[in-house]
Amino acid sequence: MINNDDSPIRKIIHVDMDAFFASVEQRDNPALRDQPVAVGGSAERGVVAAASYEARQFGVRSAMPSVTAARRCPSLIFVSPRFEVYRAVSQQIREIFSRYSDLLEPLSLDEAYLDVTEDKSQVGSAIRTAEKIRSAILEETGLTASAGVSYNKFLAKIASDQNKPDGIFVIRPHEGAAFVTSLPVRRFYGVGPKTAERMDRLGIHRGADLRAKTMNFMIEHFGKSAGYLYYAARGIDQRLVRSDRIRKSVGRERTFGENLSTDTALGAALEDIIESVWDRIEHNKVSGRTITLKVKYADFRQITRSRSCEQCLTNKSQFGATARALLAQLLPVSMDVRLMGLTLSSLSAVEPSRASRMVNYSVNSQRNFDF
Amino acid sequence: MKFSISRDSLVRSLNLVAGVVERRQTLPILANVLLVLKEDWLSLTGTDLEVELVGRIQLAVAGEESGEVTVPARKLLDICKSLPEGSEVKFSVKESKVAVRSGSSRFTLSTLPAREFPNVENSIGTHQLTIKQGQLKRLIDRTGFAMAQQDVRYYLNGMLWELDSKQLRVVATDGHRLAMCTLKEKINVTGEGGVQVILPRKGVLELVRLLTDDEADIQINIGSNHIRAATGEYTFTSKLVDGKFPDYGKVVPRSPNNILKGSRQSLRQAFTRTAILSNEKFRGVRLKLTENTLDIVANNPEQEEAEETVSIDYSGEALEIGFNVSYLLDVLGVLSGDQIKLSLADPNSSALLEESEEDDSLYVVMPMRL
């Protein structure tokens, strides 16, 4: 797979909307423009889902507890999310993408990879295509996007972040390896705070440090990600832009307004969560084999318990019973609980994910008899 | 109970009877085959409570002491299959064991009491007919592939048999494609009026295995809950699916006016090749029709592509339509004529596939969205 020297150089664009949810809110409500805005709940336990660039100047970040955000930026305006609007805008931008490529992989509502090697609309250059996409997005949605253009997904994604917001950055094939050398490891896709910390302890801070390590070293320390990181450090990433990405898990978690302290209250809360997760399972038309229960205690200690079944869980009573059995292992409750979550994974898609509906050949678009 | 039997005739019969036995059963005794000895006749019965098959073998030498016993079906079959061809197998029951001996091989099998062996209840037949095994085999072979598998619309997991006073027609569909075959020869049916029954999928698959002699008769007896079919050596009984089969006439396109005629073999080969690079799961291929030319294109998520050009006879409008290539190949695989006919209305409507020479079979395939 790696020895691919003969294959033509691919052209990949990563498009990422700038402060997506917050920008949509600022677009639709002029009073919010130029103001620090956080989309998310302002309640005591709320979390920031997205922050406007004005808010980011105060150090407000997404996934930050609303309380912390309000402390950092006292003038922060909290807005409740309107997901149906975001989804509609997301559809609009995906439609724009589809004018320029049939091979696109949405990563979330606001970002996607496009493989434009084929140059569907005969623009002539990937950079011009990226610019056309950005201006079409601005014209048709009133929002700005940033784009990264390169020869693989890894670099395209890093590039889109380089000149954010409303910017574009290009990493050409001969620049890739050198670009990665000076890149801090935490900017590698897939390297989160935990991995970055581990790398730090191993004396790996930049791409060059990573590149100096052998494959055996990588396997020993980074397990499954070893291959990806080894090649990424050399500016190589063979992952294809896949339009049929399937969802890996379905779940949901709830932070309680007040910590729960009794077994009964936890049991009741679990029933609620079972209901809503099952709804999502049905909505997404998936079934899965592994159920994971997550509990976060008042002291922020977090534990998970999971159980895998040999066959897919196909009915709600089975799903509920397994979830209850997992909770029973943790009872009687030793400390107040602030958060509980339930996730179904090892999924088999009953139908392909929404994302794959974009490209005809990887979609189950089989028509049915009408009887 | 004691008898001797030729290994070959036992294997032939046991193969069919054990086919009915499920690998996983709800009752231990359902893993067993019932052996009944009556003088020089041995009968073997396998059942899963839905489908029952009884095979009868005449012994060269009458057995000693008639009797009945049940033994593990799969193990007995595996033992007999691995004995040398042409050998004789001796059975004898001792207490609760069955001893099986052949040449220098000896086996002792556990048994369960024959009185506990369940039999599929048989309702009184309302319609009877006798046809040739070859006729029934053609009906099933031509349509069986289109039966649904484990569909929640349980009535699709089987085959519709539609009988009126002179005609037998079978239909199978999984909701995406439909296959229909009508017996060309007129038949004689005893019974009042017409009848529509659904045979369960498993019953159909087991029944067709019995039809080895095209010229021999098979007697069919249809009741309200069961169907029974008897050949000289076997009696097959199956429960019927209790449900209403969809109105298949509704899905057959009325008058598709874009008609393609082409060589079955060259189309089949072209589809087989393009299928290799279609999406493994959804199997979509794109058909582009222009005057006397068919282009078939397949893509997969790895961006690989297959393209075939086939010359055909076509003067309809230029058209692009997508299909699950497996559905087309299934049909081309069972048709036999040199020429086939594909009739299309538009890219969103069902397509009709037929042979140009024979006219007993008809296939409807829904397209994929492009």
**Is the pLDDT score of A359 beyond 60?**
no
Taking CB atoms and an 8 Å limit, are B176 and A242 in contact across chains? no
Percent over 70 (pLDDT), chain A: 93
CA distances A251 to A25, A258, A288, Å, are 27, 22, 11
CA distances A340 to A276, B7, B163, Å, are 13, 65, 60
Radius of gyration, alpha carbons of chain B: 25
What residues of chain B lie within 8 A of the CB of A367, using their CB? 176, 348, 366-369
Alpha-carbon dihedral sign for residues A83, A84, A86, A91 = positive
Provide the token pair at B256. Answer: 């598709």
Provide the token pair at A49. Answer: 């889902």
If one compares A369 and A14, the residue with the highest pLDDT of the two is A14
What residues of chain A lie within 8 A of the CB of B173, using their CB? 369
Which residue is catalytic, options A111, A118, A197, A310?
A: A111
End-to-end CA distance of chain B: 67
Query: How many Å separate Cα A301 from the centre of its chain?
Result: 24
**pLDDT confidence of residue A244:** 62
Top-tier CATH class for A20-83: alpha beta
State the Cα torsion A92-A97-A99-A104 to the nearest 10°.
-130
Regarding the domain delimited by A1-17+84-244, which CATH topology (the fold level of the hierarchy) does it fall under? Alpha-Beta Plaits (3.30.70)
Looking at chain A, the domain(s) classified CATH 3.30.1490.100 span: 249-349
Per the CB < 8 A criterion, the answer to whether B89 and B77 are in contact is: no
The Cα A366–Cα A368 span in angstroms is 7
Looking at chain A, the domain(s) classified CATH 3.30.70.270 span: 1-17+84-244
Per-residue DSSP letter, A328:
H
Nearest chain B residue (CA) to A366: B368
The pLDDT of A300-313, averaged and rounded, is 82
The pLDDT of A240-266, averaged and rounded, is 82
Q: Which residues of B touch A (CB under 8 A)?
A: 173, 175-176, 178, 246-248, 250-251, 278-279, 281-282, 284, 298-303, 322, 324, 348, 350, 364, 366-370
**pLDDT confidence of residue A5:** 46
Among A104-108, A188-192, B112-116, the range with the most confident prediction by mean pLDDT is B112-116
The Cα B319–Cα B311 span in angstroms is 15
Mean pLDDT of chain A: 86
Nearest chain A residue (CA) to B304: A361
CA distances B21 to A217, B7, B209, Å, are 54, 20, 14
Query: Could you read off the pLDDT of B185-224 as tens digits, one per residue?
Result: 989 889 888 899 999 999 999 999 999 999 999 999 999 8
**pLDDT confidence of residue B352:** 96
pLDDT band at A25; cut points 50, 70, 90: very high
State the Cα torsion B334-B340-B341-B342 to the nearest 10°.
60
Mean pLDDT of chain B: 93
The pLDDT of B116-120, averaged and rounded, is 88
Top-tier CATH class for A249-349: alpha beta
Ranking A13-27, A221-235, A344-358, B21-35 by mean pLDDT, the lowest is A344-358
Helices (H), chain A: 20-28, 53-56, 66-72, 83-100, 126-141, 153-162, 176-181, 193-201, 207-211, 215-222, 226-232, 263-283, 316-328
Query: Could you read off the pLDDT of B27-85 as tens digits, one per residue?
Result: 899 999 999 999 999 999 999 989 999 999 999 999 998 999 999 999 999 999 999 99
Query: Could you read off the pLDDT of A285-301 as tens digits, one per residue?
Result: 778 888 999 999 988 88
Query: Could you read off the pLDDT of A134-163 as tens digits, one per residue?
Result: 999 999 999 999 999 999 999 999 999 999
Provide the token pair at B44. Answer: 């073997």
Taking CB atoms and an 8 Å limit, are A367 and B368 in contact across chains? yes
- The half-sphere exposure of B281 on its side-chain side, counting CA atoms within 13 A, is 14
Among A50-54, A366-370, B99-103, the range with the most confident prediction by mean pLDDT is B99-103
A365–chain B Cβ distance below 8 A for any pair: yes
**pLDDT confidence of residue A1:** 36
Sheet holding B51-58, edge to edge: B67-72, B32-38, B41-47, B51-58, B234-239, B226-230, B217-223, B125-132, B189-190
The 10 Å Cβ neighbour count of residue A81 is 16
Query: Could you read off the pLDDT of B328-370 as tens digits, one per residue?
Result: 999 999 999 899 999 999 998 999 999 977 789 999 999 998 7
Query: Could you read off the pLDDT of A161-216 as tens digits, one per residue?
Result: 999 899 999 999 999 989 999 999 988 888 888 888 989 999 999 999 999 988 88
Residues linked to residue B106 through DSSP beta bridges, in sequence order: B101
**pLDDT confidence of residue A238:** 85
- Global pTM reads 0.55
**Is the pLDDT score of A350 beyond 70?**
no
Looking at chain A, the domain(s) classified CATH 3.40.1170.60 span: 20-83
The Cα A23–Cα A49 span in angstroms is 12
Active-site residue, A44 included: no
Taking CB atoms and an 8 Å limit, are B369 and A367 in contact across chains? yes
**pLDDT confidence of residue A357:** 29
A243–chain B Cβ distance below 8 A for any pair: yes
**pLDDT confidence of residue B350:** 94
